[in-house]
Amino acid sequence: MQIKRGTIEDIPQILPLWRKLSDTHCEMEPMFKLVENAEEKFAAYLSLIFTKENFAIFVAESDSKIIGYLIANVSTTPEVYVIRRRLYIQDMMVSPDYRRQGIAGKLVNVVVAFAKEQQIEKMDLLVAVKNEEANKFWKAMGFEPALNYMTQYLV
């Protein structure tokens, strides 16, 4: 198993993992309900972000098969803040068949190294409140709650 920077050619193998992640989240939170043709739209989105310098996609690969991925983007906060550069972990998924083997931790370690190379001062992510397993994982990786993200559905 190796972790490497993803390429646009990885999109077809990332899509089923993304769909599994989305389906899992949809069960926990209505905001993750998908539209028709979601995979096609997400493939187009991935194609776009592979062209952006502020995005990084890392994949875990075993025997030429992608078994996990992590999508992150780098942004800069307004000049009023001391901490200016941040990395946001947008998505991370490891195939259920490969869980509990340290792959997710290796993906996170690679993105942490990437963030340090980029002189990023802070990393953020959102975790569904009901996703107890993910919350435990991220806390074990050194993340801690900082803000309460609150939602009110109007429809």
Q: Which tens digits make up the pLDDT trace of 121-152? A: 999 999 988 899 999 999 999 999 999 888 89
We find that the CATH architecture of domain 2-140 is 3-Layer(aba) Sandwich (3.40)
Per-residue model confidence as pLDDT tens digits over 43-98? 999 999 999 999 999 999 999 999 999 999 999 999 999 999 999 999 999 999 99
Q: How many helices (H) and strands (E) does the chain have?
A: 4, 5
Q: How much is the pLDDT for 18? A: 97
Q: How much is the pLDDT for 100? A: 93
Q: How much is the pLDDT for 30? A: 87
**What global pTM score does this model have?**
0.93
What does residue 82 show for φ and ψ, rounded to 5 degrees?
-70, -45
Given a contact cutoff of 8 angstroms between Cβ atoms, the answer to whether 87 and 115 are in contact is yes
Q: Does 27 score more than 90 pLDDT?
A: no
- Residue 2 forms beta bridges with which residues? 61
- Where does residue 15 rank: exposed (0-12), middle (13-18), buried (19+ CB within 10 A)? middle
Q: Where are the beta strands (DSSP E) in 6-84?
A: 55-62, 65-76
